[in-house]
A and B are shown apart, each in its own frame.
Chain A
Amino acid sequence: MSRFTDLFKRLEARGERALIAYLAVGDPDLPTFLAAARAALGSGADALELGVPYSDPLADGPAIQAAGQRALAAGFRLPWLFEALSALRAEFDAPLAVMTYVNPVLQAGARRFVERVRAAGGDALLVPDLPADEAGELSALCREAGLDFVPFVAPTSTRERMAAAAEVGSGFVYCVSVTGVTGARAQLPAELPAFLEEVRRRVPLPRAVGFGVARAEQARALKPHAEGVIVGSALVERVAEGGGAAAVAARVGTHTASLKAALRGDP
């Protein structure tokens, strides 16, 4: 059983929801990223998404764009991803996912990329610009290597598209909460519960909600409607405040803990 499948099963049994933290690898440098990642995983994040910095992140809003730019300015190269995965895998048993745009995967060679992620201790791959109908080959490579390929569904997805996502995906399904790019939102859309209910009916995977979720009360409001939440921009903004690895880790840890508290136990 994959680490993600196992995680969602265990949390389900406890009436708890998963908190998946997103951070951009190498933001603002590799040691600070690792400090932030340890803080997140040590303060209640159930899993980590390691974002691969990219020159043209067209699904991302300003916060994650800036994070990627900081990492690239610091000299991010692909080996940093595998180093980071190995380092975190040595210390944590939590599921680790890699979030990357498709072009870096193609340039590394899809098979080679998937195998390197697996060898470094990664558990899943998320590719926001690879919709289900283009994902057949990569999803098959992931399956062969024992990685979950996590599909995306959006509020605009039709039933047929949800079915297609179910077909290529495993581990969990990434539910995009808004029609838009990543970034903290003051309010989540009123139609979100109906969308998540539709996903539950169409996709037999745990649902994790991302894009826009920033604060504990939003996470708490989602508790009845999804099996997990993904928080990226709100954590990345805490990295952006800078002040050195210790200060970054403290802020990321504090915010992670408050989010996780909202997802534990009784509502």
Chain B
Amino acid sequence: MTRTTSDAIERRFGRFGGRYVPETLIPALDELTEAYAAAKADPAFHAELDRLLREYVGRPTPLYEARRLSAALGGRARIFLKREDLNHTGAHKINNAVGQALLALRLGKRRITAETGAGQHGVATATAAALLGLECDVFMGEEDMRRQELNVFRMELLGARVIPVASGTRTLKDATNEAIRDWVTHVRTTHYVIGSVVGPHPYPAMVRDFQSVIGREAREQVQAAAGRLPDALVACVGGGSNSMGLFHPFKDDAGVRMYGVEAAGEGLDTGRHAATLTAGRFGVLHGAASYLLQDEDGQVLPAHSISAGLDYPGVGPEHAYFKESGRATYLAVTDDEALWGLELLSRTEGIIPALESAHAIAALPRILDELPEGAIVVVCLSGRGDKDMPQVAARRRATLAEQGGGGR
């Protein structure tokens, strides 16, 4: 009985996915797979999760038609924003964090851990831990702690411990390594809350399921608002959880195109980017076979993006599958383009997006060119930009100084 249900959670997506982790963790992954399969089949679990998403997180999030943004981009398409930025804690990450924290309770584990890049997943996990009375440790690269000081403070205020990671590139990749090492060590008492659709089975499928609330809501909302399914979905892709959450409920709707937007950093030709699907190739990172940025010997290359949340050399295995099967299209926008997207949305709609989400906005001109007149487009606005203000301000000052202008 449990066998049947746990087998229903995909272990592989084509040649991607799997469980490439030390043997020590395999029994914990088996246990997690069983527990998740049981939870998935349990109406009481869904009732509790739905209640928290509604009463605590603030779901459903609105689907907002961004008319002035559409007009600014030529007025040939109707652009809808799925407002994940309006969630409690300011991003989509909380959808998954609450789900996994509830699962930790079912597993009888009182300590949860997380890796974080931009800090949004760390904040979401610390929040869920406070909500459910769990102990929480968050691993964060030193470089990211510098870039996202405010989120470090928020996590600590929420009662979590933020553990600085000084190894490797001191960013999300190394925070993930350290979180896995911690999990190997404390596997009997700890549930590791992975923040994206990455990692060993069952995480990619499980995190996708928790984030699919985005796409399920959007699918109903867009039909109510526009009377039909959209022509295209657009979302940024780092590990790929907000995009997979939006895409997945539409995957069998053949007429709905999917665009994942990666970070081209300083430009694909500079080597300083995080465009894993665009410029990487097949390999194994953090327990799953997928695409990654690597050298000829298989050493993982450091990623670069102005957005800490996209600064990751891997990507979820199901995205790799969507790329190879042609179900989704992946493109990349640079740091500068993302900043342009951030300003555009701020000025046309009064919505300051996170730098991650700004990548999705910045890709719109290119995507709209491929769509018919009057196309309906749903963009996942995965998070709000407050956390990024110090960095954006510093960058603007630097640009103005370079141009020799004083600015206003």
Contacts and interface: CB of A to CB of B under 8 A. Distances in A.
A161 B26 contact: yes
Contact of A107 (B28, B298, B301): B298
B229 interface: no
Interface in B259-299: 282-287, 292, 294, 296-299
A58 B180 contact: yes
A153 B300 contact: no
A134 B185 contact: no
A101 to B, nearest CB: 8
A176 interface: yes
Given A129-B22, A131-B22, A179-B24, A103 B283 contact: yes
Contact of B185 (A101, A133, A180): A180
Interface residues of A, number: 41
A129 B299 contact: no
A-side binding surface: helix, strand, loop or mixed?
loop
A107 B300 CA distance: 11
Max chain B Cβ within 10 angstroms of own Cβ: one of A152, A154, A161: A154
Given A56-B177, A56-B285, A157-B26, A103 B21 contact: no
A157 B22 contact: no
B167 interface: yes
Contacts of B208: none
Given A56-B173, A59-B22, A106-B283, A156 B27 contact: yes
B396 interface: no
Given A55-B168, A58-B177, A104 B299 contact: yes
| Size bracket, chain B contacts | 35 or more
B22 A128 contact: yes
A181 B297 contact: no
Contacts of A130: 20
A131 B287 CA distance: 11
B399 to A, nearest CB: 33
Nearest to A154: B24
Contact of A161 (B23, B167, B173, B283): B23
B-side binding surface: helix, strand, loop or mixed?
mixed
A160 B255 CA distance: 46
Given A106-B282, A179-B188, A156 B298 contact: no
Interface string A174-194: 001011110000000000000
Contact of A181 (B26, B181, B294): B181
B52 interface: no
B23 A54 contact: no
B76 to A, nearest CB: 44
A78 interface: yes
Contacts of B301: 55
B341 interface: no
B117 interface: no
Contacts of B28: 156
Interface string B9-28: 00000000011111111111
Contact of B23 (A55, A103, A131, A181): A131
Contact of A156 (B187, B284, B285, B297): B187
A155 B20 contact: no
B21 A131 contact: yes
B284 A161 contact: no
A134 B297 contact: no
Given A102-B284, A103-B285, A107-B297, A131 B181 contact: no
A254 interface: no
Given A102-B284, A107-B297, A133 B19 contact: yes
B298 A152 contact: no
A14 B287 CA distance: 41
A56 B168 contact: yes
A235 B37 CA distance: 44
B184 interface: yes
A61 interface: yes
A154 B27 CA distance: 10
Interface string B173-191: 1100100110011111000
B299 A106 contact: no
B185 A179 contact: yes
A154 B174 CA distance: 24
B187 A179 contact: yes
Contacts of A72: 299
A93 B180 CA distance: 37
A179 B27 contact: no
A180 B25 CA distance: 10
B23 A179 contact: no
A141 to B, nearest CB: 16
Contact of A104 (B20, B168, B298): B298
A58 B200 CA distance: 13
Contact of A134 (B18, B177, B294): B18
A129 B187 contact: no
Interface in B209-257: none
B27 A78 contact: no
A180 B28 CA distance: 13
Contacts of B186: 179
Ordered nearest first, which 10 A-B pairs have the shortest CB separation? A107-B298, A154-B24, A104-B298, A180-B185, A103-B298, A152-B23, A55-B299, A55-B300, A59-B22, A156-B27
Given A56-B300, A128-B22, A154-B24, 12 more contacts: A55-B301, A56-B168, A59-B22, A102-B284, A103-B284, A106-B283, A129-B20, A129-B287, A155-B24, A176-B23, A178-B185, A180-B24
Interface of B: 18-28, 167-168, 173-174, 177, 180-181, 184-188, 282-287, 292, 294, 296-301
23 contacts: A61-B181, A103-B283, A104-B299, A106-B282, A106-B284, A106-B298, A107-B283, A108-B298, A128-B22, A129-B20, A129-B287, A131-B19, A134-B18, A152-B23, A155-B24, A156-B23, A156-B25, A156-B27, A157-B23, A158-B27, A161-B23, A161-B26, A179-B185
